[in-house]
A and B are shown apart, each in its own frame.
Chain A
Amino acid sequence: MSLILQIVFLLGDLVFLGLIFLLIKRDRLSVRFGMLWLIFGGVWLVFAAVPWLLKVLRGFFRFQVVSNLVFTMLLAFVLLVLLTLSVAASLAARRMRQLAQSNALLEERVRRLEQQLKPGCGPDGDA
């Protein structure tokens, strides 16, 4: 890796990490989900700072070229992010369902009580 490319990668990664920090700070991204991106940024910062590590990993996993290793790692990370988002979406859907049901149950109770409080209405809401 040329020195210029290494500097571009380092700066790009630092900008990326800064963006994640900023999003967490402004409450646009929760720490829970931001953590995965921070770990990703941290790992790539290490690889950008010490590219020799990629060559060691390439040899260890017997990849023909470093770029194959990098793309495989990126794909694995993207799949991990997608899986995490699917889990989060499923949990959010379940919570939303419980919340909507609770809201409807409370609304029905309020409606029934309001009906009972109307002048001329009996305890069962009958006129």
Chain B
Amino acid sequence: MRDNTVKTLVIIPCYNEEENILAVVRRLQDTCPEADYLVVNDCSTDRSREILSAAGCRYLDLPVNLGIGGAVQSGYRYAMENGYDVTVQMDGDGQHDPAYLAAVVAPVADGTLDMAIGSRFITHEGFQTSFMRRLGINFLSGLIRLLTGCRVRDVTSGYRACNKAMTAYFARHYAEDYPEPEAIICALTEGFKVGEVPVVMQERQGGVSSIRALSSVYYMVKVSLSLVIYRLSRSRKGGKR
């Protein structure tokens, strides 16, 4: 988005999203034609890469599957190398509505926040996810509050905007798998300002979620452990930024 000279890049991680990816890109282009975008194809095994190539989309093609963390981090590295002011993460499954892009970018562009998270749990409109997932999200939200003192409701939201400093940090340090909650605690303990803005999300438009029933237990254990270890290994740099 180049209004008021804010150069914005939207990172769209993509793994086996042949059903959604083009629609997501087209919708973003139609809604926010000023914003640059970059699809990061995480070594998809379906026709995602062919579809992106044939449509002339801007994309990174990872030679091996790095997981969501590695894919998003590639986008942050791209943003840093190409001097973007604001970097936005947006899922490739159609859950995130580009109509809220300006709302997510605004607090970062005006310097209020270093990272703005699009939260579906402020106005409670639109897709609110299943009861069990909501339970997990509330647990992680409580854990982050306990460890940092800051309340973030939608800790697993992948719809988030970062300024240059935050982008540079994530380009160097970003969790491998299920990185969203860990990215929040990293940002908070490093002294970055993190906040939420209300957004309305939709149910995924097609394809399969990366978090399935069997991996849910692993998800909760891994993320909780990461949060605690990260917090214990670093003292909070309050008021640094």
Contact = CB atoms under 8 A, between A and B. Distances in A.
Interface of A: 93, 96-97, 100-101, 103-105, 107-108
Given A97-B70, A97-B176, A105 B60 contact: yes
B59 A108 contact: yes
Given A100-B62, A101-B77, A105-B74, 15 more contacts: A93-B176, A97-B66, A97-B70, A97-B176, A100-B64, A101-B62, A101-B74, A104-B60, A104-B62, A105-B60, A107-B60, A107-B61, A108-B59, A108-B60, A108-B61
A96 B43 CA distance: 14
B169 interface: no
Contact of B77 (A93, A96, A105, A107): A105
A93 to B, nearest CB: 8
A4 B58 CA distance: 72
- Chain B at the A interface: mostly helix, strand, loop or mixed? mixed
Given A97-B70, A97-B176, A103 B81 contact: no
Interface residue range, chain B: 10 to 19
Interface of B: 40, 58-64, 66, 70, 73-74, 77-78, 81, 176
27 contacts: A93-B176, A97-B66, A97-B70, A97-B73, A97-B176, A100-B63, A100-B64, A100-B66, A100-B70, A101-B62, A101-B70, A101-B73, A101-B77, A103-B63, A104-B61, A104-B62, A104-B63, A104-B74, A105-B60, A105-B74, A105-B78, A107-B60, A108-B58, A108-B59, A108-B60, A108-B61, A108-B78
Nearest to A94: B176
The 8 closest A-B pairs by CB, nearest first: A104-B60, A101-B74, A104-B62, A97-B70, A100-B64, A108-B60, A97-B66, A100-B63
A100 to B, nearest CB: 5
A82 to B, nearest CB: 19
Contacts of B59: 108
Nearest to B171: A101
A96 B63 CA distance: 11
A96 B64 contact: yes
Contacts of B73: 97, 101
